Amino acid sequence: MTILQVLKIVAAVGTIATGIVSLFWPRSVQGFTGLTAPGPRGITELRAVLGGFFIALGAAPLFLQVPQTYRMLGIAYLVVGLVRAISMVADKSVVQSNVISLAVEIVFGVILVL
């Protein structure tokens, strides 16, 4: 197994871990993401989108064992990073949590696309 393959697995597992935290502890992501969920409907949305969707995206490459699924996950990270970068400027939201998220998205995206 090459170092690149290991890094791809780490990125996929990191995606799953983000989903697990969001699924089981949705209020814990509020401070980092800036998202608030004042009621049960908002909590459900955090669990479903940041939880379930991230778990599925990270798990697909690991279970399917098809190289293109890692690439798909990488493209998703790069698009999210591009949109985040544009939004950070447009919305004047260049804050630490956005910069950290952008860095992770770029790093994971590049690793997964290679």
CB atoms within 10 A of CB 57: 19
**In which element (H, E) is residue 77 found?**
helix 67-90
pLDDT at 32: 81
pLDDT at 37: 86
Lowest average pLDDT, out of 27-36, 37-46, 101-110, goes to: 27-36
Give residue 47's identity as a one-letter amino acid code.
R
What whole-number distance in Å separates Cα of residue 98 and Cα of residue 69? 26
Domain ranges within the chain, ordered by starting residue:
3-113
DSSP state of 91: T
The sign of the CA dihedral 12, 13, 16, 22 is negative
Q: Are 62 and 9 in contact (CB under 8 A)?
A: yes
pLDDT tens-digit series, residues 32-87: 888 888 899 999 999 999 999 999 999 999 999 999 999 999 999 999 999 999 99
